[in-house]
């Protein structure tokens, strides 16, 4: 079974949807292989940005990643843009099997605290991983072992059953990477704030997926929830540290991560 190198790229984007940001540089991430295959993750890919800087790379089974990605540009690996993730989460799902992620790409400081490393709806993503392996094994029996499947699932779930526990682990990792100067009390308060965020997000996401909420309503509910959450974070760590950590004020960060419906 063919392995290839998967590369995570980060490029500046000309996308300027938020007047409050002015000329603030926003980043887009996507995934490619040396053979020219590319997943744009809701935006430009390698054909548009052939010299895009590489922020991470690793080897994985090509056919398995292709099956995880799915047949269309939307959703990507089960991620629907600004519903259960953005380009960072889509890229991380594609890079999962290669053992790397786009944590060092600009924008990760907002994408990870809001959506987690692999986006919302992790149960369905785990099923995508398993189904993709089954499809590959139907073509080439035994190509993907149960051990490989179990390792991929473990990496996503951290051996935990509750999505909130998984997301909390992701947040711990994010804070350790980006805010080592936070006090134990501040970290504890942030974990409570984000626990409340993910509990509410999970409930609202489930309502949306069950058809009990329209996408515009979902976007508006999420935008308010994220705005309130980031303002609470700012009250815990202070405006200056918030800017150092998230690179933009709470209301602008909320617009960037999940704008209200037009």
Total number of domains constituting the chain: 1
Query: Taking the alpha carbons of 157, 161, 66, 28 in that order, is the dihedral positive or negative?
Result: negative
Query: Using 50, 70 and 90 to split pLDDT, how confident is the model at 23?
Result: low
Q: Higher confidence at residue 187 or residue 152?
A: 152
Q: What is the pLDDT of residue 70?
A: 94
pTM score of the predicted model: 0.86
The reply to whether 155 falls in a domain is yes
The reply to whether 71 falls in a domain is yes
The reply to whether 68 falls in a domain is yes
At 104, list the tokens.
């060092």
The reply to whether 262 falls in a domain is no
Average pLDDT in the 158-166 region? 79
The reply to whether 97 falls in a domain is yes
The reply to whether 198 falls in a domain is yes
Is residue 172 over pLDDT 80?
no
The reply to whether 27 falls in a domain is yes
- The chain-wide mean pLDDT, for the chain, equals 88
Q: Is 77 helix (H, G, I), strand (E, B) or coil?
A: coil
Q: What is the pLDDT of residue 227?
A: 93
Query: Using 50, 70 and 90 to split pLDDT, how confident is the model at 100?
Result: very high
Enumerate the β-bridge partners of residue 12: 27
> What range does the domain containing 237 cover?
3-257
Average pLDDT in the 128-149 region? 97
Q: Which of 35-39, 60-64, 167-171, 194-198 has the lowest mean pLDDT?
A: 167-171
Is residue 179 over pLDDT 70?
no
Q: Please give the distance of CA 193 from its chain centroid, rounded to a whole number.
A: 19
Alpha helices (runs of H) in the chain, residue ranges in sequence order: 62-69, 87-95, 108-115, 122-139, 146-157, 163-178, 184-209, 215-237, 239-246, 250-257
The reply to whether 210 falls in a domain is yes
Q: Please give the distance of CA 148 from its chain centroid, rounded to a whole number.
A: 22
Is residue 255 over pLDDT 90?
no
Q: How many CA atoms lie within 13 A of 99 on its CB side?
A: 8
């Amino acid at each position: 079974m063919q392995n290839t190198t998967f590369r995570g790229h980060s490029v500046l984007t000309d996308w300027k949807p938020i007047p409050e940001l002015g000329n603030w540089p926003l980043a887009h991430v996507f995934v490619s292989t040396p053979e020219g295959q590319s997943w744009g993750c809701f935006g430009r890919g390698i054909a548009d940005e052939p010299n895009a800087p590489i922020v991470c790379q690793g080897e994985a089974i090509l056919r398995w990643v292709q099956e995880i990605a799915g047949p269309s540009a939307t959703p990507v690996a089960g991620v629907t843009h600004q519903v259960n993730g953005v380009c960072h989460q889509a890229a991380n799902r594609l890079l999962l099997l290669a053992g790397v992620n786009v944590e060092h790409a600009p924008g990760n400081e907002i994408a990870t605290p809001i959506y987690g490393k692999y986006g919302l709806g992790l149960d369905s993503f785990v099923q995508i991983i398993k189904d993709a392996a089954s499809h590959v094994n139907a073509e080439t029996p035994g190509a993907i072992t149960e051990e490989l499947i179990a390792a991929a699932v473990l990496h996503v779930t951290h051996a935990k059953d509750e999505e909130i526990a998984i997301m909390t682990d992701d947040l711990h990792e994010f804070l350790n990477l980006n805010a080592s100067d936070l006090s134990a009390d501040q970290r504890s308060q942030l974990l409570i704030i984000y626990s409340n965020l993910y509990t509410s997000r999970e409930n609202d996401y489930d309502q949306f997926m069950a058809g009990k909420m329209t996408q515009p309503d979902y976007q508006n509910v999420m935008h308010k929830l994220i705005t309130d959450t980031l303002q609470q974070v700012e009250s815990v760590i202070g405006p200056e540290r918030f800017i150092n950590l998230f690179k933009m004020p709470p209301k602008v960060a909320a617009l960037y991560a999940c704008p209200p419906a037009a």
